[in-house]
Structures are given as C-alpha cells and as structure tokens.
Amino acid sequence: MKSKVHIQKIETYSLDKTESFVRDALSAIDGSLFSSGQKVLLKPNLLRGFSPKNCVTTHPIVVESVCRVLKDYSVGQITISDSPALGSLEAVASKAGYDPLKKKYGVKIVPLTDPIPFENEEGVPHLKIAGCLQEFDRIVNLPKVKSHCQMTMTLAIKNLFGLVIGKRKPILHCLVKNDKIKFGKMLIDIARHVNPCLTLADGIEAMQGQGPIHGSPYPLGVLLASTDMTALDRVAAEIIKFPIDKVYALEAARLKGYGNYDLDKIEISGVADLSSLVVSDFESARAMDISFNPYRIMKSFLKQFYEVGIKEKRDAIN
C-alpha cells in the first residue's frame, strides 16, 4: 500500500493558511484520527530557547494551527512537551513564542517525566523514553525541517529523539560508538515504539547550513504531513536534494523496513508536481562525528545547571 504525503506551498506564516493546510491534510490522509475527549500530546522541536526567526524551533503559528483544528474536534486536552538540550521546557517554549497558546486554547506545556526502558532491537543500553507518553490517546509529531551536522537532516524520525529525557541523549550518542547507521536504527526503534498518529513538518522557513542550531534560515515555503514518517522524510530529502544514503535516519529506515522509502510507493497530494518544489541551493551542514567527547558532555551538564538553576531563576526575579 502506498503512503500518503500531503504537501502545500506556503510562503509565510499565516495562521489561516496553515490551519487550512492541517484541515486539508487530515481530509487527504485520515479524517478519523481525532475525536471528542481525547488527550493529545504535541511534540514540536523545542531544542533550545530561540526566537522563531532563528528557525531552531517549530514555529508557533504551525503549532497554533494544529491546536485550532484539534479544538474543532473537541479533544479533551492538548499538551505540548519536549526535552530541550539546554534550559527548562517552560523557558524554551516561552522564547519560542508558545505562551499565548495556554490562554487561547487551554494548552498545557508540561515537561516529560518518568523515563522507562523499552525493548530495542539494536540492544542500545540505557535507552529510556518518557513513560508519561502512555497517558495520551494520540501523539502528533511537529518537527522543523533542518540540516543536521551529525545526521545530515533532522525531521520526522529524528524529532522523536526529544522524547529521551534530558542528558541521556548525549550519553546515547556515545554508546553507539560513532556509528551513524546504528544511531539511526535506534531512532527507528524509538519511532516504532512511540508511533505518532500524524507528523506535520514545518518547512515554511527551514534551517540550512550548520544545523540543528547554528544554521541559517532558508525560505523553503512548504508544509508536509503524513502518517508515515519515513515517507515524509524521504519526500523532504528529495525537495532539498540531500543524498538519501547520507540521511542516516532514512538509510536506517530502509535497512529496517520501516515505512515506505521508495518514492514510487509514496502518493503525493496537495501539489501536482513534486519537482516544482525542489531547490538546488539548500546548504548541508559540515559533517561531525556523532559521539561527544567527555569534556563536551561535562560542559553540557554544567551549562544546563547554570541555565536552569541560576539564569532562569534570576531572569524570573528581574
């Protein structure tokens, strides 16, 4: 069976246009995903505390458009959660422009809790994800289209690594011993376990160059949606012309038979011709090892202690 990927060309962050895209995507893919009373978790990319203009985080307009549509489905509760690399979720979400969602839609912004182990085919030790995911009826994956210095591209599959809580993430980077394919296979195990009902990717303003943090904005002008994360990532890689064998999460998906990898098994809707969206000047990141040295890990722990334990408290007082 073919996987469906719905795509639309949208040049700017217009709430009406993004909301229309979400409605069209659900109509094209599966209009029965949401129903009254459900508890829905939204998992955006909230890597670090940056303004939306920096393109590090999923744009608040995209998240709000999903909230609007979910409210029309009369869902019981919408919760936003992630595990930022630096800073508390509350502070990072605030800088990303998410605070108004709490009042307008009753959204809760809640840190991930209860890390629990799960069976993973790659045998990666100490792999745990947030046990609180079990509290939700539906999970919606809301990644940002970005280049990535270690994994070439970060999108649907890679975004779910944020469900590993806190500083376990850099430790896991090291445990795969700089094997990017093995790391990608671990991501597939996480994706299969979490199984979000829908992925909606923010590519209106993407990040090129030295992503996922230090790149620059690129006006890609697309939104993508699918229930198949592999298919969505494959189409996005085609649009930005990244070599798919170097998009390690995609290569891992191909090797593990997860989702539809081949374009001829993917049904595109929303645009008549995928080639019309393809760009030739999207800059990739300078490749780096996937492992972190012990000094960098210790530095990250200290920066997190300072950010959450001192700086955020000082800023709150001021």
Q: What is the mean pLDDT of residues 249-254?
A: 98
For residue 108, the cross-strand partners are 79
Full residue range of the structural domain in which residue 42 is found: 3-291
Residue 121 domain-assigned (yes or no)? yes
Residue 31 domain-assigned (yes or no)? yes
Distance, C-alpha 56 to centroid of its chain: 11
pLDDT digits (tens, 9 = 90+) for 192-208: 999 999 999 999 999 99
Tell which wins on pLDDT, 135 or 295: 135
Residue whose C-alpha is closest to residue 14's, from 263, 148, 205: 205
The mean of the pLDDT values for the chain is 93
CA distance 166 to 24: 35
Residue 241 domain-assigned (yes or no)? yes
Provide the pLDDT confidence category of residue 125 given band limits of 50, 70 and 90: confident
How many other C-beta atoms can be found within 10 angstroms of the C-beta atom of residue 86? 16
User: What was the pLDDT predicted at 295?
Assistant: 58
| Residue 114 in this model has a pLDDT that exceeds 60 | yes
For residue 207, the cross-strand partners are 146, 217
User: What was the pLDDT predicted at 172?
Assistant: 78
Residue 303 domain-assigned (yes or no)? no
Provide the pLDDT confidence category of residue 178 given band limits of 50, 70 and 90: confident
CA distance 251 to 191: 14
Half-sphere exposure of 212 (CA within 13 A, CB side): 22
User: What was the pLDDT predicted at 50?
Assistant: 97
> CB–CB of 247/237 below 8 Å?
yes
User: What was the pLDDT predicted at 318?
Assistant: 62
CA distance 173 to 216: 24
pLDDT digits (tens, 9 = 90+) for 49-76: 999 999 999 999 999 999 999 999 999 9
Position 32, amino acid: S
| Residue 188 in this model has a pLDDT that exceeds 90 | yes
How many other C-beta atoms can be found within 10 angstroms of the C-beta atom of residue 136? 17
User: What was the pLDDT predicted at 309?
Assistant: 66
CATH number for the domain harbouring residue 56: 3.40.50
Residue 105 domain-assigned (yes or no)? yes
Provide the pLDDT confidence category of residue 292 given band limits of 50, 70 and 90: low
Provide the pLDDT confidence category of residue 296 given band limits of 50, 70 and 90: low
State the total domains in the chain: 1
Q: What is the mean pLDDT of residues 281-301?
A: 77
Residue 314 domain-assigned (yes or no)? no
CA distance 288 to 79: 34
Residue 87 domain-assigned (yes or no)? yes
| Residue 23 in this model has a pLDDT that exceeds 70 | yes
Provide the pLDDT confidence category of residue 298 given band limits of 50, 70 and 90: low
Residue 305 domain-assigned (yes or no)? no
Residues 7, 8, 9, 10, CA torsion sign:
negative
CB burial of residue 43 (10 Å; 0-12, 13-18, 19+):
buried
